[in-house]
């Protein structure tokens, strides 16, 4: 039996200084005609994806790329073909974009993108655009809640915009109170907080989402109503990544990429294995294990959304009161 033809495509997400991104409308007689997409085109034989990106955006928009970086790789199966889409986030270019092939163009705020009719293959890109390049995880052990909250406030004012509240060992009233105060701090700073814990507790404290550990991911069908929650999952291998994607998880954390102080003897993935694993799922994946903000750019080059971490992202002037992990 002959399989579906595979089409490799390179696309650029041009984002201007207002935060808007550029959409182009597909010709009515083409595949997915009339829908709006991120500009790009097919990768020709013998051509690298990055070369295609540069060529297509010059041919379609009349621009020359100056600054861009990998965003996400998406694989999508249509009835008549399989599309593998390599996307870049483009922040600087030369020239004013215009439809050189007669196509309509529109600058759209990311929050408004779900309202535009787009090919299914483009939709994971919207989530990659919505997520930041850092995912802060709280230290798991808290001996001094006031100190914890002071350090959390400091972390949230340093540019972090996505937080996983992951605290163990407290009695339920203390845990609920600390989680609620943390969520209020996040609200003040415009930061989304996911709870690593029961869905009921996440609802109770008004968390923006839930982060599933390996056990909760395996029991996904029993977790109850998750409507309206941002969903993340901890993964360590290809099977768990596939399971997370199959469950409709929004993004994953894959670890351990590098050695950590908390688990020095753990078997690490390394960047090559991490990259290979990311290439088989179409959702944002953060690199965890030995990460710091200095490794964000390297993580992009290996297919990551960015980096996740505790020690590497939490304020490093720890006074006392807990012992951060790696």
Q: Are 304 and 274 in contact (CB under 8 A)?
A: yes
Question: Residue 120's pLDDT is what?
Answer: 85
Rounded to 10°, the helix 172-189/145-156 angle is 20
d(C-alpha 275, C-alpha 193), whole Å: 27
Question: Is 302 labeled as ligand-binding?
Answer: no
d(C-alpha 50, C-alpha 216), whole Å: 39
Mean pLDDT of 264-271: 87
Containing H/E element for 125? helix 123-130
Mean pLDDT of 177-202: 96
How many beta carbons lie within 10 A of that of residue 102, not counting itself? 6
**Predicted confidence band at 187 (pLDDT cuts at 50, 70, 90)?**
very high
Question: Residue 2's pLDDT is what?
Answer: 60
- Tens digits of residue pLDDT in 214-231: 999 999 888 888 999 999
| CATH code for the part of the protein at 6-121 | 3.90.79.10
Question: Is 55 labeled as ligand-binding?
Answer: no
Question: Residue 122's pLDDT is what?
Answer: 85
**HSE-up of 114 (CA within 13 Å, CB side)?**
5
Q: Report helix, strand or coil for 256.
A: coil
Mean pLDDT of 41-56: 95
216-223: list long-range contacts, CB under 8 Å, 24+ apart: 217/243, 217/244, 217/247, 217/249, 218/243, 220/247, 223/199
d(C-alpha 254, C-alpha 251), whole Å: 10
Question: Is 38 labeled as ligand-binding?
Answer: yes
**HSE-up of 232 (CA within 13 Å, CB side)?**
30
Question: Is 31 labeled as ligand-binding?
Answer: yes
d(C-alpha 306, C-alpha 105), whole Å: 29
Question: Is 60 labeled as ligand-binding?
Answer: yes
Question: Residue 224's pLDDT is what?
Answer: 82
Distance of CA 153 to the CA centre of its chain: 23
Question: Is 319 labeled as ligand-binding?
Answer: no
CA-to-CA dists, residue 145 to 138, 155, 309, angstroms: 12, 15, 20
Question: Is 214 labeled as ligand-binding?
Answer: no
Question: Residue 152's pLDDT is what?
Answer: 95
pLDDT above 70: residue 205 = yes
| CATH code for the part of the protein at 134-309 | 3.20.20.70
DSSP state of 15: B
d(C-alpha 206, C-alpha 229), whole Å: 10
Question: Residue 321's pLDDT is what?
Answer: 43
- The reported pTM is 0.93
Spans of all domains in the chain: 6-121, 134-309
- Tens digits of residue pLDDT in 90-132: 999 999 999 999 999 999 999 999 999 998 888 899 999 999 9
Mean pLDDT of 134-140: 96
């Amino acid at each position: 039996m002959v399989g579906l033809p595979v089409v490799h495509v390179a696309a650029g997400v041009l984002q201007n200084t207002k935060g808007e991104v550029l959409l182009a409308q597909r010709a009515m007689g083409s595949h997915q005609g009339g829908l709006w997409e991120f500009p790009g085109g097919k990768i020709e034989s013998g051509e690298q994806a990055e070369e295609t990106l540069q060529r297509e955006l010059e041919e379609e928009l009349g621009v020359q790329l100056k600054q861009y970086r990998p965003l996400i790789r998406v694989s999508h199966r249509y009835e008549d073909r399989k599309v593998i889409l390599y996307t870049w986030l483009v922040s600087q270019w030369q020239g004013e974009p215009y439809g050189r092939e007669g196509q309509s163009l529109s600058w759209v705020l990311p929050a408004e993108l779900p309202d535009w009719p787009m090919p299914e293959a483009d939709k994971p890109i919207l989530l990659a655009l919505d997520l930041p390049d850092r995912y802060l995880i709280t230290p798991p052990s808290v001996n001094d809640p006031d100190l914890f909250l002071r350090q959390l406030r400091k972390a949230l004012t340093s540019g972090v915009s996505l937080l996983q509240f992951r605290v163990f060992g407290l009695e339920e009233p203390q845990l609920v109170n600390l989680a609620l105060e943390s969520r209020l701090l996040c609200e003040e700073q415009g930061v989304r907080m996911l709870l690593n814990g029961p869905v009921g507790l996440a609802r109770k404290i008004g968390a923006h989402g839930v982060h599933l550990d390996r056990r909760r991911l395996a029991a996904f069908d029993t977790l109850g109503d998750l409507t309206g929650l941002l969903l993340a999952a901890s993964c360590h291998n290809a099977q768990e990544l596939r399971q997370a994607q199959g469950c409709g998880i929004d993004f994953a954390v894959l670890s351990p990429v590098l050695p950590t102080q908390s688990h020095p003897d753990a078997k690490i993935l390394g960047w090559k294995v991490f990259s290979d694993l990311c290439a088989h799922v179409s959702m944002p994946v953060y690199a965890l294990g030995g990460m710091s903000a200095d490794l964000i750019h390297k993580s992009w080059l290996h297919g990551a959304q960015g980096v996740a971490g505790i020690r590497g992202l939490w304020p490093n002037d720890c006074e006392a009161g807990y012992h951060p992990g790696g």
